[in-house]
Homo-oligomer: A and B are copies of this chain.
């Protein structure tokens, strides 16, 4: 089987980033996929991008996933430009502010997934230490996974990998991931599980809103500390809603699981004790 080389470029961090390169090959046994990532850590300045991006190109990726917060900031903007120029198929993963440059990204020939529910962290020195940062990310990761946003993400990647493997023309995804994706999905069998998942996602958007105010608008610590603390409490409440949604599906043994086969095809199952079946939706989805 021919192999596709997936290059992941991370600059700065949103909660989708830490596991993005693991989602397409969760069991580390796909024969059709090679993954390489390069990251600039939490910083996202232009110098960091310049220094790091070439290393990704050195890997000669067939497909690039580029993920950063605020893709309009100078560093990420520089990176987008570079990917656009190199003409390697690239999908930009980013958060809310990305909406402002949707048209521009299309012109740049880039695909994008703008994840409205991947919120700004409460980045205030009185509040955020590495432990709080990690807990915040852990909560958002759990919510994005549980609500189905991560499934949406790796299915989009799967489609592109499938097309490349089969020499088909690529259709880069361009979407703003919002609550409607959860609503219109059939992943949840129980409608209350779905409602809770939607609720969890809506709360993440609320967190983005509050942290924006807490980090950039309020200047007085008496005002911004309660705000960012409040935002992180909402994340925790959202994580509980997401857990509840998942538990509901477990209670009737209808939890959907979609592991990747060794050949990269997505399998699907619900009853825990049964084997996953190849439901070649990947091919279908790639049409």
A residues at B contact (CB < 8 Å): 6, 8, 10, 12-13, 18-19, 21-28, 34-44, 48, 51-52, 55, 58-59, 123, 125-135, 137-139, 141-142, 144-146, 148, 150-151, 154, 179, 183, 190-192, 194-196, 198-199, 202-203, 206, 210, 221-223, 225-227, 229-234, 236-238, 240-241, 243, 246, 248, 250-253, 255, 257-261, 267, 269, 271-276
With a cutoff of 8 Å between Cβ atoms, the chain B residues found around residue A276 in the complex are 125-126
A25 to B130 CA separation, bound complex (whole angstroms):
8
Is the pair B199, A230 in contact by a Cβ cutoff of 8 Å?
Answer: yes
Pairs across A and B, CB under 8 Å, 15 listed: A19-B134, A26-B42, A27-B42, A35-B40, A39-B39, A125-B261, A129-B257, A138-B145, A141-B141, A191-B253, A192-B253, A195-B226, A202-B230, A203-B234, A240-B240
Is the pair A19, B22 in contact by a Cβ cutoff of 8 Å?
Answer: no
Is the pair B138, A272 in contact by a Cβ cutoff of 8 Å?
Answer: no
The answer, among B125, B128, B206, B231, for a CB contact under 8 Å with A206, is B206
Q: Which residue of B lies closest to A142 (CB)?
A: B138
The answer, among B203, B225, B250, B251, for a CB contact under 8 Å with A273, is B225
With a cutoff of 8 Å between Cβ atoms, the chain B residues found around residue A39 in the complex are 8, 21, 35-39
With a cutoff of 8 Å between Cβ atoms, the chain B residues found around residue A199 in the complex are 230-231, 233-234, 237
With a cutoff of 8 Å between Cβ atoms, the chain B residues found around residue A151 in the complex are 130-131
Is the pair A150, B134 in contact by a Cβ cutoff of 8 Å?
Answer: yes
With a cutoff of 8 Å between Cβ atoms, the chain B residues found around residue A230 in the complex are 179, 195-196, 198-199, 202
A18 to B222 CA separation, bound complex (whole angstroms):
33
Is the pair B42, A25 in contact by a Cβ cutoff of 8 Å?
Answer: yes
Is the pair B257, A132 in contact by a Cβ cutoff of 8 Å?
Answer: yes
Is the pair A190, B229 in contact by a Cβ cutoff of 8 Å?
Answer: no
Is the pair B125, A267 in contact by a Cβ cutoff of 8 Å?
Answer: yes
With a cutoff of 8 Å between Cβ atoms, the chain B residues found around residue A248 in the complex are 250-251
Is the pair A24, B273 in contact by a Cβ cutoff of 8 Å?
Answer: no
With a cutoff of 8 Å between Cβ atoms, the chain B residues found around residue A190 in the complex are 250-253
The answer, among B27, B36, B42, B257, for a CB contact under 8 Å with A38, is B36
A281 to B190 CA separation, bound complex (whole angstroms):
28
With a cutoff of 8 Å between Cβ atoms, the chain B residues found around residue A227 in the complex are 183, 198
The answer, among B34, B144, B252, B255, for a CB contact under 8 Å with A48, is B34
Shortest Cβ gap from A163 to chain B (Å): 19
Contacts known (A251-B248, A253-B191); A24 close to B130, Cβ less than 8 A:
yes
Is the pair B133, A22 in contact by a Cβ cutoff of 8 Å?
Answer: yes
A43 to B23 CA separation, bound complex (whole angstroms):
12
Shortest Cβ gap from A109 to chain B (Å): 25
Is the pair A275, B27 in contact by a Cβ cutoff of 8 Å?
Answer: no
